[in-house]
């Protein structure tokens, strides 16, 4: 029963891991930019939800559309100012320069957040915080189930968007071969712009769940960046369709591993899985083809 509880808990946190990583995978998989400020954007989404709750008393699930709008606009600005000038570079230069630019952005965002909101952790406590029910002796929290349900809905919506809509297919085409897509009449710059804004929006959604389930701090984005990076590596760089499964795998592995060797080793378990993946499956556990947009 204890192992079952750990697996269920791992699936819940794993869904959040997948949601936190999908934006990072989208930016790299489509545009070949390495946005290491992804964790800072997750933190900003959490702060947006917190202040809407603190000032306007809006429940995080109710304020979610407003947070998504805020983060979408932020993503548009982020791309236009910082990433768009890199579009003329080769793939290697894109990765290197985007890494340097977003590293500087981390310094700006995290220090600005400290000045504005102090370094004290911020979290949201609602009437249903801590509430749970039991099924066959397994304890399930309302927030955990709600967060997992939201993550699944968001991932499914993204999947349908990428596979069923014209713009989503354009994103997929650009990820496979942007030069061929350009010859077919696809507006590369506009597609990059919307893809980046969408990725930052997804980071904001993850931040809402994090501030509701845990807490956010100005420097807390780094730990979530590491989690997102591990999940993306497990899935395979550029493989959006394996990210959610990779998040579930990491969540369950950490939960069961913590049960066996102690919760203090949870982070070690994640990095051990990352190391094994890099050594034995460098293309990713869930990658089925080596080049292009893995599916």
The string of pLDDT tens digits covering residues 204-231 is 999 999 999 999 999 999 999 999 999 9
Q: What does the block give as tokens for 93?
A: 């230069």
Q: What does the block give as tokens for 268?
A: 């070690």
Phi, psi of 279 (to 5 degrees): -75, -40
Q: 160-184 burial string, b = 16+ CB within 10 Å, else e?
A: eebeeeeebebbbbbbeebeebeee
Rounded Cα distance between 211 and 261, Å, is 28
Nearest C-alpha neighbor of 78 from the set 195, 162, 188: 195
Query: According to the model, what pLDDT value does residue 266 have?
Result: 80
Rounded Cα distance between 145 and 164, Å, is 28
Give a yes or no: residue 97 inside a domain: yes
Give a yes or no: residue 285 inside a domain: no
Q: What global pTM score does this model have?
A: 0.92
Average pLDDT over residues 105-111: 95
Number of domains, the chain:
1
Query: According to the model, what pLDDT value does residue 291 have?
Result: 44
Give a yes or no: residue 193 inside a domain: yes
98 Cβ contact list (under 8 Å, min separation 6): 33, 34, 35, 83, 86
DSSP string, 106-150: HHHHHHHHHHHH-SS-B----TTTT-EEEETTEEEEHHHHHHHHH
Residue 11 belongs to a domain with what CATH number?
1.10.3470
The string of pLDDT tens digits covering residues 57-96 is 999 999 999 999 999 999 999 999 999 998 888 888 888 9
Query: According to the model, what pLDDT value does residue 288 have?
Result: 65
Which parts of the chain fold into alpha helices (H)? 2-26, 38-56, 60-78, 91-117, 142-164, 166-176, 178-183, 188-213, 221-235, 243-261, 266-280
Give a yes or no: residue 287 inside a domain: no
Give a yes or no: residue 149 inside a domain: yes
State which residues form the domain around 267.
Answer: 2-280
Does residue 264 carry a pLDDT above 80? no
The string of pLDDT tens digits covering residues 134-159 is 887 788 899 999 999 999 999 999 99
Q: At what angle do helices 221-235 and 38-56 cross, to 10 degrees?
A: 130
pLDDT band at 111 (very low <50, low <70, confident <90, very high): very high
DSSP string, 204-223: HHHHHHHHHHS-B-TTTHHH
Place of tokens 């102690």: 262
Give a yes or no: residue 257 inside a domain: yes
Query: According to the model, what pLDDT value does residue 129 have?
Result: 86
What SS3 class is residue 88?
Answer: coil
Give a yes or no: residue 77 inside a domain: yes
Give a yes or no: residue 295 inside a domain: no
């Amino acid at each position: 029963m204890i192992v079952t509880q750990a697996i269920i808990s791992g699936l819940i946190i794993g869904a959040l891991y997948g949601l936190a990583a999908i934006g990072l995978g989208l930016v790299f998989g489509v545009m070949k930019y390495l946005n290491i400020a992804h964790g800072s954007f997750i933190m900003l989404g959490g702060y947006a939800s917190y202040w809407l709750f603190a000032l306007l008393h809006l429940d995080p699930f109710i304020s979610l559309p407003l947070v998504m709008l805020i983060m979408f606009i932020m993503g548009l600005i982020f791309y236009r100012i910082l990433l768009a000038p890199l579009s003329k570079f080769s793939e290697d230069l894109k990765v290197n320069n985007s890494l340097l630019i977003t590293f500087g952005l981390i310094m700006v965002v995290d220090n600005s957040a400290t000045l504005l909101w102090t370094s004290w952790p911020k979290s949201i406590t609602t009437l249903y915080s801590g509430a749970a029910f039991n099924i066959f002796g397994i304890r399930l929290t309302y927030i955990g189930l709600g967060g997992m349900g939201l993550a699944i809905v968001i991932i499914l919506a993204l999947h349908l968007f990428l596979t069923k809509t014209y713009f989503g297919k354009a994103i997929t085409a650009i990820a496979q071969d942007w030069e061929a897509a350009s010859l077919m009449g696809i507006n590369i710059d506009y597609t990059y712009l919307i893809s980046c804004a969408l990725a930052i929006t997804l980071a904001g959604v993850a931040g809402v769940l994090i501030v509701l389930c845990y807490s956010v701090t100005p420097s807390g984005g780094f730990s979530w960046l590491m989690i997102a990076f591990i999940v993306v590596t497990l899935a395979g760089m550029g493989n959006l369709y394996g990210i959610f499964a990779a998040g579930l795998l990491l969540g369950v592995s950490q939960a069961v591993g913590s049960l066996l060797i102690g919760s203090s080793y949870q982070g070690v378990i994640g990095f051990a899985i990352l190391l094994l993946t890099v050594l034995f499956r460098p293309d990713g556990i869930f990658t089925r083809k080596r080049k292009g947009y893995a599916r």
